Structure 1
Amino acid sequence: MVARKLVDDGLHPCPIRNVLDRLGDRWSLLVLRTLAPGAMRFTVVKRTIGDISQRMLAQTLRRLEQDGLVTRTVHPTIPPRVDYALTPLGQSLMEPLDALVRWADEHHGAVRAARQAYVPPTAEAA
């Protein structure tokens, strides 16, 4: 049996957790959905998302590229033009992601109502 290091290389012994931890961050799924229609420049992605910082967008795109979900293409122009697009692997995520988005849209009201109605257990009950 080969031991895996649990370091910044993203390896985790559970493959589901390994992938979902990365995709479940605050920005990755939003960036992927933004790129679904086709290649976009960095500034267009940032403007489309709106409230993401330039630094966080750069980090998120880098991680998605590292995971094989996004490509980064530098065009030899002055100034250089950089486009980001989904890879075939990234495109394959759109169908399940769209189903999740539809579910969230349909059930958002029920989830909000449950959150408002929730009463945390008291210390004695726990």
Structure 2
Amino acid sequence: MIKKTLLAVLVLVSFKSNSQTLETVSKMKLNYQKCLDKGNNMSGCSINYYNQSDSLLNVVYKNLKEKISSKEQSKLKKEQLEWLKKRDVYFEKVYADTKKEGHFIEGTRDFEMVVFDEKANFVFGRVKELIKRN
């Protein structure tokens, strides 16, 4: 657990010190796929991928906010709050849809993997959108 936390901090520091690009997102996706390809703890891979998406979103949002005027910051904050509402609705839908499909049993690792994968992809969509505005 400590190793993962330390790794996450190091990743965030490197993101802060280097400009985030769409290449950063691509590398994360590639590393995620490599993790899945191992076939071990695939739900852990997807949870980690989601956590990375969320961390990167926070860094990209803060970096963008620092570069814009206070009036634009206010608009960005309002926009982000609206996006968070959409995210929450989408996350609920993903959970319900995955449950309804019946391919995966709720509470299993496979179910978790599918849900977190979808959540991460949604968040990375927002990350890419904000990166393009940086």
Does the alignment reach a TM-score above 0.5? Answer: no
Higher relative contact order (CA 8 A, sep 6+): 2
Q: Which has the higher helix share?
A: 2
Which structure would you say has the larger Rg? Answer: 1
Q: Which has the higher strand share?
A: 1
